[in-house]
């Protein structure tokens, strides 16, 4: 099926979305996947470059997936061979195939002259073909080693580390404060982007391989740090970056202003039938909603609010509106600075405003009713520092809002009892310091993912979890 000229003759084809009137009535996945035939055709567009920038960690895939070879096997319908290549570097392609913004595609050489190869969706097809055909099976270790490892946190980094450590023969227990494992994958990403049966399918495999999950426990509080150190020969901290960026303006104390993750977590709990643990219900039904923050989390809030029946949603972003195509400041193969629209932005009842800075909230009877904001202009600093937002005189405006969602990113790992008990060293931002082996300032205590690097993509967290596990395995081999 592959031809040498396919990249010149075959246009890029992206998956379609379910019709808006249909999908906004439920929380099921919004995509309509390409057929097996279409995926194979798309895989023929890969040029098998002499230097495939798509799988270089610096500009493309942080997992270093062997993309040209995977595409070549997929184009020929050799799904088992493609799957073996993919799983050699990537533990969870079924997650990234649904939620990754695909930095590999922005580094695709074909992208210099045409739309890049649909790498992300080809990889998703490979893993799903693997599940459908029975190729994906538990891989318990052939020999169990005496060492035991506690993994604290069950998000992407923690799960990746746990799987690799267990397959190396180590005893692995994952501790999670939430009722169910998955971290951000379960509680932060809406079901219309990642349905939770996808996560549960992978967790079932990990349990069959021997990974133990202990949920509803806060490591360092419900079980002491001393207990963990006595029971386990190593600890991996993978609790993520959980402290959200706040907005310190007048009126912040009013009811109806919430952090985005609290809002998204509640709705995910509703969808899965979990109790809300006594928390007040947060809903957008019949309300004017203002989402502050223009990233993926903000988009997730928009899609959720629309499904809950919001009267109107306004999204505010302090940065200027990006250009529609790659900006000259981020040339290929760098991650391009350009405007990105998600499926949620296409679902109606939405106003997006750029270069806006909220200045205050006001309300009645302790409840928020208005968001006050001003347009800003980004101007260079006199001392040569990066441009700063400057309010434009006379541009002040007010928005009605009965619900305000703060989606401005995360600034620190937040509370970590183990880090506090051990007095672990932190960097100037408050994230956990580690050495070249991914070990913290305490011997045998490692850190993976966003707790060290800061909030980032799911694929980066998975890659970091894999690397941390490899460092830990090598560290065990050095022990007497």
Per-residue 3-state assignment (H helix, E strand, C coil) for 144-195: CCCCEEEEECCCHHHHHHHHHHHHCCCEEEEEECCCCCCCHHHHCCCCCCCC
With 80 as the cut, is the pLDDT of residue 71 above it? yes
Q: Which pLDDT belongs to residue 478?
A: 55
Mean pLDDT of 359-377: 97
With 70 as the cut, is the pLDDT of residue 29 above it? yes
Three-state SS at 329: coil
pLDDT tens digits for range 213-244: 999 999 999 999 999 999 999 999 999 998 99
Q: Which pLDDT belongs to residue 90?
A: 97
Cα separation, 149 vs 169, whole angstroms: 11
**What fold, for 6-132?**
Fumarate Reductase Iron-sulfur Protein; Chain B, domain 2 (1.10.1060)
With 80 as the cut, is the pLDDT of residue 382 above it? no
Q: Model confidence at 379, in pLDDT bands (50, 70, 90)?
A: confident
Q: Which pLDDT belongs to residue 4?
A: 74
pLDDT tens digits for range 4-26: 788 889 999 999 999 999 999 99
Cα separation, 117 vs 61, whole angstroms: 14
Of 379 and 366, the one with more pLDDT:
366
Question: What integer best gives the mean pLDDT of the chain?
Answer: 94
CB 349 within 8 A of CB 310: yes
Query: Closest Cα to residue 267, out of 335, 191, 215?
Result: 191
Radius of gyration of the chain (CA): 23
Mean pLDDT of 398-418: 94
Of 265 and 278, the one with more pLDDT:
265
Q: What is the DSSP string of 372-414?
A: EEEEEEEE--TTSPPPEEEEPTT--EEEE-SEEEE---EEE--
pLDDT tens digits for range 169-227: 999 999 999 999 999 999 999 999 999 999 999 999 999 999 999 999 999 999 999 99
Mean pLDDT of 312-327: 95
CB 115 within 8 A of CB 12: yes
CB neighbour list of residue 360: distance below 8 Å, 6 or more residues apart: 249, 250, 251, 372
With 70 as the cut, is the pLDDT of residue 3 above it? no
pLDDT tens digits for range 97-121: 999 999 999 999 999 999 999 999 9
Q: What Cα–Cα distance (Å) separates residue 31 from each residue in 70, 344, 390?
A: 23, 12, 40
Considering the entire predicted model, what is its pTM? 0.96
Mean pLDDT of 267-282: 90
**Proportion of the chain above pLDDT 70, given as a percent:** 99
Q: Model confidence at 2, in pLDDT bands (50, 70, 90)?
A: low
Domains 6-132 and 148-242+411-477 share a fold: no
Mean pLDDT of 70-90: 97
Q: What Cα–Cα distance (Å) separates residue 306 from each residue in 26, 37, 350, 410?
A: 10, 34, 9, 24
Q: Which pLDDT belongs to residue 480?
A: 38
Q: Which pLDDT belongs to residue 384?
A: 73
Q: What Cα–Cα distance (Å) separates residue 150 from each residue in 169, 307, 436, 480?
A: 14, 39, 20, 20
CB neighbour list of residue 65: distance below 8 Å, 6 or more residues apart: 55, 86, 89, 90, 104, 123
Triad 46, 49, 52: Cα angle to 5°: 95
Q: Which CATH number fits domain 148-242+411-477: 3.10.50.40, 3.30.565.10, 3.40.50.300, 3.50.50.60?
A: 3.50.50.60
With 60 as the cut, is the pLDDT of residue 355 above it? yes
Domain ranges of the chain: 6-132, 148-242+411-477, 246-408
Residue 8: CB atoms within 10 A of its CB come to 12
Mean pLDDT of 45-68: 90
Q: Which pLDDT belongs to residue 288?
A: 98
With 70 as the cut, is the pLDDT of residue 318 above it? yes
Question: Maximum CA pair distance of the chain?
Answer: 71
Cα separation, 89 vs 108, whole angstroms: 19
Triad 182, 264, 215: Cα angle to 5°: 30
Return the CATH class of domain 246-408. Answer: alpha beta
With 50 as the cut, is the pLDDT of residue 358 above it? yes
């Amino acid at each position: 099926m592959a031809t040498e000229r396919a990249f010149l003759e075959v246009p890029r084809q992206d998956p379609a979305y379910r019709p808006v009137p249909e999908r906004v009535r439920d929380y099921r996945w919004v995509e309509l996947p390409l057929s097996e035939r279409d995926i194979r055709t798309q895989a023929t567009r890969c040029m098998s470059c002499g230097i495939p920038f798509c799988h270089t960690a610096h500009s493309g895939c942080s997992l270093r997936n062997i993309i040209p070879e995977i595409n070549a096997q997929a184009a020929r319908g050799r799904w088992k061979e493609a799957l073996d290549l993919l799983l050699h570097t990537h533990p969870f392609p079924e997650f990234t195939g649904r939620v990754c913004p695909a930095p590999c595609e922005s580094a695709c050489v074909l992208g210099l002259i045409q739309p890049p190869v649909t790498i992300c969706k080809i990889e998703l097809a490979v893993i799903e073909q693997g599940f459908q055909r029975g190729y994906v099976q538990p891989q318990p270790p052939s020999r169990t080693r005496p060492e035991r490892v506690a993994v604290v946190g069950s998000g992407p980094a923690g799960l990746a580390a746990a799987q690799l450590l267990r397959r190396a023969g180590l005893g692995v227990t994952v501790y999670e404060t939430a009722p169910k494992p998955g971290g951000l994958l379960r509680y932060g990403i809406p079901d219309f982007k990642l349905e939770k049966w996808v996560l549960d399918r992978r967790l079932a495999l990990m349990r069959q391989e021997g990974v133990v999950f202990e949920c509803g426990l806060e490591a360092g509080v419900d079980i002491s740090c001393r207990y963990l150190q006595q029971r386990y020969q190593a600890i991996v901290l993978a609790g993520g970056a959980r402290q959200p960026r706040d907005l310190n303006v007048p009126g912040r104390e009013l009811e109806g202003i919430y952090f985005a993750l609290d809002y998204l977590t509640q709705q995910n709990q509703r969808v899965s039938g979990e109790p809300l643990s006594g928390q007040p219900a947060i809903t957008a039904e019949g309300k004017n909603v203002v989402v502050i923050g223009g990233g993926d989390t903000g988009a997730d809030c928009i899609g959720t609010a629309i499904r809950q029946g919001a009267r109107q949603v306004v999204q505010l972003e302090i940065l200027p509106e990006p250009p529609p195509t790659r900006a000259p400041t981020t040339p290929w193969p760098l991650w391009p600075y350009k405007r990105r629209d998600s499926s949620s932005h296409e679902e109606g009842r939405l106003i997006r405003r750029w270069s806006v800075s909220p200045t205050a909230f006001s309300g009645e009877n302790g409840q928020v009713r208005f968001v006050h904001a001003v347009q800003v202009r980004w101007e260079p600093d006199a001392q040569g520092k990066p441009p700063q937002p400057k309010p434009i005189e006379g541009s002040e405006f007010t928005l009605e809002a009965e619900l305000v969602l703060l989606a401005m990113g995360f600034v620190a790992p937040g509370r970590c009892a183990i880090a506090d008990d051990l007095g672990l060293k932190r960097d100037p931002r408050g994230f956990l310091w580690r050495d070249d082996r991914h070990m913290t300032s305490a011997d045998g205590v490692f850190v993976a993912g966003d707790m060290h690097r800061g909030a980032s993509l799911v694929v980066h967290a998975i890659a970091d979890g894999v690397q941390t596990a490899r460092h830990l395995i090598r560290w065990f081999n050095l022990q007497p």
